[in-house]
A and B are shown apart, each in its own frame.
Chain A
C-alpha cells in the first residue's frame, strides 16, 4: 500500500528530471527543482529536497553524471547532466 505509491512517485520524478536535463542541458539541483515545479503543476511543492534522492539514484544507475561548479550566487553546486551515450535512449 504505502510503499507502492511512493515508488510510482519516485519513477515519475526520475522521468521528469531526465526530461529536464535533456531539454535544458546540465543543471544543478535548484534549477531542476524550479523547472519541474513549472511544468508539473506543483508535484514538488513543499518537498523540493526529494529531488536529491532521485538524482543520487539516477547517478547510481548510470543515467546521469555530476560535476562541481559555481552557482548563480557563487556558491559551490553540483551540476548534473545526462551521461554521454544515454541521451537518445533515455526518453523514449
Chain B
C-alpha cells in the first residue's frame, strides 16, 4: 500500500534528483581514482566503468518509480491503434461486424430491461403487493370496494392499502381552453401515494381528505406537466372541468413515475370517489358489493411477512364472502381465497404479452452475436498468422512472451471497445425503431428506457465477454509460436493442423447457427401469413373507424343523443365516396369486451360463464359496412326504434350453441332483465383474436340500447383513401353535432394489424437478423477460403507445375467447403427442430417437424456458400506456377 501511494505520488513529481546524485557519485569515484594516482581522464573513465551504465540505471529508477504496467499499456494502445490504421479493411470489417452483433444484443436487452426487469420507481418496492381474489380459474383483481374499506379499517398486517383504477379516458376541458381534450387518467384512493412512498416534484400529492372532493383536486404526472404545461410552476392552481366538476391541480408526481401499469402513462390522477360524479356509468360502483373493477395495492407493515398478511386478509375475505354470497360455482372458481401478488414491477399485462417474444428475440440476437464472434476470431487468427514472422523476430530479440501477450491483449481489447462504442450507436437506432413500432395506434405503449443498472452492466460486460471468447484462440496461438521454425524459409508450406481446424470448426458452427436462424425466420413468416389468411368474417380493407364521444354535459337525455347519432349517420352517408356507414359500440379487434347475462328459454346454462354472452350495439348497415353476410332472417334496420318491438341478431356460434336443434328466429330471450326477440343470424366475426374461434355474440339495435350510448364508433366503407376521408368526416361531424369529441381515426385493417403486432414484430426482426447472420457467415466463409488459398498457393503452384489441371485444384478446395457445409447442416438441422419445438407457442398453425423450412434454408445456405467460395477458388486458376514458386 505504501509502495502504491509513493508510486502514485511519483507520477506527478519529477526525478531530476537522481541526475544530481549520479553526478556526485561519479565525481567522488573520480576523486578516489585520482587520489590513487590515475590521470584525471583515466580516472573519469574508470569511475564510469565502476558505476555502470548510467542510462540503464536511470531507466531502472524510472521503472521502479512509476507504474510499469500503466506506461506499457499506454504504449501498447498506441501501437495497436497504428496497427489498426495500417489495416483498414480488417479494422472496418471487424468493427462493423462487432457493432451489428453487439448492438442488436444491447437493443433487445434494453427492451427486456424496460419490460421485464424494471421495478417501479417507488420506495422499497419489495414490500408492495396486489391483493387479488383467486380461485380454480386463476387470479382475479381486487375484491369489491366495500371489502377494500374493510381492509383499510381492519387489516393490520398492511401498513396502508389503496385502490387503483387506471386506463380511464378522461374528457377534460382545461380552464384556459374552450375545447375538450382527452387525457389518460387513473382514479385512486387518497392513500395511494402514501402506499407507494412517493414525494411530489411540485406541490403536494393526494391525501385521504381529498376523497371528500371538497374541493376536487388532481395530481398530474411529471411528463404531462412538461408537455402540457411546459413545466411551468404555474400549473399549481390551474383547473380543468371533468364530468361537470371543476378540479384544481395541486401537485406534480415525481419524475420517472407514471402509474402502476408499465407501458402506460397516467397523466392525471384523481380520487377514486370521483366515480360518484354523475351522470355516469360509474355511479354506485363504490357501494356495489359484488363487482370487482379495480386493483388494490398495499404495503406490508414493518416486520410482517407476505404469508402472514395473506392469511389475515384471507380471514377477512372469507367473512366478507359469507356476508355477501355468490353462486357456489363462482365461489369455487373465482372468489375462493385471497392471493398476494408482488407489485414491485407493477401490473403484469405488458410483461405477460411480451415475455415470450422478447425471450425468443434475445435468443436470436445471441446467435447472431455468436456468428459475429466466430467471424472475428477467424479474422484475428488470419491476422496473427500473417504476423508470425514479426513475433518470432521479437521473441528472438528478447521481448518477453508476457510483453507480447500484453500487446495482443491491448489490440484485441481496443478492437472490441471501439466495436462496443459503435454498437451503442447501433443499439440506440434499433431501440428507437422498435419503440416507434410499439407506439402507433390509439393505445400506444410508452416505454421509458433507463441506461443504468442491469442495462449498463450488460453493455459493459458484453464486449468483455466477446473479447474473451473471440480473442482467446488467436492469442493462445501466438503464444505458442516457436521462433525458430517460424523464421525458417518455406515455413509457409507447412500447415499447422490445430489452427486450421479451429477456423474450420468455426465455419461449421456459423453454418449451423445460420441455418437455425433462417429456419426460425421462415417459420415466423409462415405463421404471420397463416394469421393473415384467417378469414375474419368481414372485409377489413377500405373501412375507416372514428370513435365519437357525446359529452354528458351536452346530451344528458337519451333522446337527444339518439338524434345526434342520427345526424352523424346522415352526414356520413351524404359524403361523396362513402359506400355505407354505420355505428357500433364495439368494432372488431378494438380490444374492448362487453358481456351480459343471457337467458334463453329452454336452455340450461352449464356454468356461470355459459350464461354470459358478448354484447354489441349496432346500427343498421353495420354488417353491410363490414361485408358480413346475413345467414338467416333479417338484418337490423333504422325502424328498430325504442317504441318498436325490441329485436336482436345473433352470430352463428351463438345460434349453434344456444339453439342446437331449433330455429332461433322468433324466440324471445333476455339480456339480464330486458327482453329481445331474435330476428336474424349473421356469420361469425372474429372480434378479438384471429387464433381463437369466434365466441357467441348478440347484436342489439343502437336505438334500443341496453347500455347508455355516450360513445359509439362510426364505421365508413369507402372507395377513397379511408384515412383522408376520416379527416373530412371529422370536420363535418363537428359541424352537425356540438359538444362531441372525435378520437384519432384508424382504418379497420390497421386495427386488425395491431392485434398481431407481436407476430409482425418477431417476423420482421427474425427475418432481418437471419439475413444479417447469413451475410456474416458468407463473409466468414469467404475469409477462411481466401486465407486458405493464399497460404496454400505454393502448394497449389507445385501441383499445377507437375501437371494437375486448375479444375482439379479448384475442385479440391470446393470439396473442402462442401464438407464444412454438410457438417454444419448436420449440426444445424436437429438443433433447429428442437428449438422450433421449444418456441411452438409463438407459431400459428406451423408444425415444428415439417422439414420444408429446413430444406429451403439449407438450399439458401448452400447457394450462398458456393458463391462465397467461388471468388477465392478462381484465384487458383490464375496462379502462375513459376513465379509463385520463385517468390518462395
Contact = CB atoms under 8 A, between A and B. Distances in A.
A13 to B, nearest CB: 12
Nearest to B49: A46
Contacts of A49: 22, 25, 51-54, 56-57
Nearest to B57: A49
A70 to B, nearest CB: 10
Interface in B637-657: none
B60 interface: yes
A56 interface: yes
A53 B25 contact: no
Interface in A33-92: 33, 45-50, 52-53, 56-57, 59-62, 71-73, 75-78
Nearest to B7: A60
A52 B6 contact: no
A46 B50 contact: yes
Interface string B11-47: 0000001101111110111010000000000000000
A86 to B, nearest CB: 12
Nearest to A59: B6
B24 A28 contact: yes
Given A45-B50, A49-B57, A29 B25 contact: yes
Interface in B673-720: none
Contact of B6 (A53, A60, A73): A60
Given A53-B57, A56-B65, A48 B25 contact: yes
A30 B61 contact: no
Nearest to A3: B400
Given A28-B24, A30-B25, A78-B21, A53 B3 contact: no
A40 to B, nearest CB: 15
B23 A75 contact: yes
Contacts of B60: 50, 53
Given A60-B2, A60-B6, A61-B2, A75 B24 contact: yes
Contacts of A77: 21, 24-25
B64 interface: yes
Nearest to B2: A62
Contacts of B27: 73, 75
Contact of B3 (A46, A47, A50, A60): A60
A71 B61 contact: no
A85 B29 CA distance: 33
Contacts of B7: 60
In this complex, which of A33, A50, A60, A61 has the most chain B Cβ atoms within 10 angstroms of its Cβ? A60
A30 B28 contact: yes
Nearest to A28: B24
Q: How large is the interface on A (under 10, 10 to 19, 20 to 34, 35 or more residues)?
A: 20 to 34
Nearest to A57: B64
Contacts of A56: 61, 64-65
B27 to A, nearest CB: 6
A46 B52 contact: yes
Interface of A (DSSP majority class): mixed
A68 B64 CA distance: 21
Interface string B48-83: 011111101100110011000000000000000000
Contacts of A78: 17, 21
B25 A61 contact: no
B24 A48 contact: no
Interface in B280-337: none
Contacts of B50: 45-46, 48
B57 A50 contact: yes
B323 to A, nearest CB: 80
A68 to B, nearest CB: 8
A78 B19 CA distance: 11
A30 B22 CA distance: 9
B399 to A, nearest CB: 13
A6 B369 CA distance: 47
Nearest to A32: B25
B164 to A, nearest CB: 64
Nearest to B31: A73
B52 A47 contact: yes
B21 to A, nearest CB: 5
- Residue with the greatest number of chain A CB neighbours at <10 A, chosen from B20, B24, B31, B56: B24
A52 B3 contact: no
Contacts of A30: 24-25, 28-29
Given A28-B24, A29-B25, A48 B2 contact: no
B18 A52 contact: yes
Contacts of A76: 20, 24
Contacts of B29: 30, 48
Contacts of B52: 46-50
Most buried by A among B3, B17, B56, B64: B64
Nearest to A54: B64
A34 to B, nearest CB: 8
B64 A29 contact: no
A86 B764 CA distance: 73
A71 B206 CA distance: 82
A45 B25 CA distance: 15
Given A60-B7, A61-B2, A52 B65 contact: no
A50 B61 CA distance: 9
Contacts of B20: 75-76
A71 to B, nearest CB: 5
Contact of A48 (B3, B23, B51, B61): B51
B34 to A, nearest CB: 11
Nearest to B23: A75
A61 B65 contact: no
A62 B4 CA distance: 11
Contact of A71 (B28, B49, B53, B56): B28
Nearest to B4: A60
A57 B61 CA distance: 9
A71 B53 CA distance: 22
A21 B7 CA distance: 24
Contacts of A60: 2-3, 6-7, 64-65
A52 B57 contact: yes
A73 B52 CA distance: 21
Nearest to A63: B2
A61 B56 CA distance: 22
B25 A33 contact: yes
Contacts of A52: 18, 21-22, 57, 61
Contacts of B22: 49, 52
B158 to A, nearest CB: 60
B741 to A, nearest CB: 78
B52 to A, nearest CB: 4
Contacts of B49: 46
A49 B22 CA distance: 8
Contacts of B6: 59-60
B18 A71 contact: no
A77 B26 CA distance: 11
A90 B60 CA distance: 25
A71 B22 CA distance: 12
Contacts of A46: 49-50, 52
B62 to A, nearest CB: 10
A63 B534 CA distance: 86
A72 B64 contact: no
Interface string B336-363: 0000000000000000000000000000
Contacts of B28: 30, 71-73
A30 B7 CA distance: 25
Interface in B478-502: none
Contacts of A75: 20, 23-24, 27
Interface in B250-301: none
Contacts of B17: 78
9 contacts: A28-B25, A30-B24, A46-B49, A48-B52, A49-B53, A49-B56, A50-B60, A71-B24, A78-B17
Given A49-B51, A52-B18, 12 more contacts: A28-B24, A46-B50, A47-B51, A47-B52, A52-B21, A52-B22, A56-B65, A60-B3, A61-B2, A71-B28, A73-B24, A73-B31
Closest 5 CB pairs of A and B: A49-B57, A47-B52, A49-B52, A75-B24, A30-B28
